[in-house]
Amino acid sequence: MSGIVSALLVSVFLKLVRKDKTESIFIFELPTYRIPDIRNIALGLYDRATIFLKRVGGIIVALSILLWVLVTFPQPPDNATMPAINYSLAGQLGHLIHPIFAPIGFTWEICIALIPAMAAREVVIAALGVIYAMSGDEDTVTQSLLSQISGPDGWGLATGLSLLVWFIFAPHCLATLATIRRETGSWKQPIIMATYLFALAYIFSFITYQVASNF
């Protein structure tokens, strides 16, 4: 619901600020409506779910493998005092960009997960699993994930809500941006869209985190 409301508000704002004030006529012919057939609905849902799982499943596996490489290498020094992931390429990148996302409550682990999630937002769950798994031994992965998310030293409600709001607005789908580029024949529109959506995501995540932190 929040996504629908925000989309309507953004469309009203863009209508007010656009330079071209000419009205365009859009005619859409509605099909004949009939009572749906349960069998056809079930088959359609099965087909679409299968296509989705095959497409996204391959992306998730590929990006999870790539992320595992980034969180594994290089190896920590002999006198290391922190978990190995802190010395990896992904760990260094996460700590580098963390100051940007700290005001909206994101940890450096979440910052790492946002990078592969640019391909598809569904990847963020697998990415977080890989990241936290590299921070502990194999037997404590599930416990580690639960404690990080819901424990007293975990994310906290404010961070969880901020992350949810982020994914309402942020355009974590390169396929969508590529489609807009192909349809418009220019990078201008996808760049503008990505910029204002990331800006909206940051602003509303910041507001959500700051408000939730006071309760």
Given a contact cutoff of 8 angstroms between Cβ atoms, the answer to whether 200 and 169 are in contact is yes
Smallest Cα–Cα separation from 110: which of 96, 89, 92, 131? 131
Domain assignment of residue 72, yes or no: yes
Domain assignment of residue 31, yes or no: no
Domain assignment of residue 100, yes or no: yes
Smallest Cα–Cα separation from 125: which of 110, 136, 138? 110
CA distance linking residue 183 with residue 195, whole number of Å: 18
pLDDT of res. 125: 86
Domain assignment of residue 167, yes or no: yes
In the chain, the number of structural domains is 1
pLDDT over threshold 70, residue 15? yes
0.85 cut: is pTM over it? no
CA distance linking residue 127 with residue 133, whole number of Å: 10
Give me the domain span that covers residue 199. 38-213
For 164-195, what is each residue's pLDDT tens digit? Answer: 999 999 998 888 888 899 888 899 999 999 99
Given a contact cutoff of 8 angstroms between Cβ atoms, the answer to whether 64 and 130 are in contact is yes
For 106-131, what is each residue's pLDDT tens digit? Answer: 999 999 999 999 888 888 988 888 88
| One-letter amino acid for residue 118 of the chain | M
Domain assignment of residue 177, yes or no: yes
Domain assignment of residue 26, yes or no: no
Q: What value does the mean pLDDT take over residues 25-51?
A: 88
Domain assignment of residue 74, yes or no: yes
Residue 14: other Cβ atoms inside 10 A: 10
Domain assignment of residue 185, yes or no: yes
Pull the structure tokens for residue 140.
């404590």
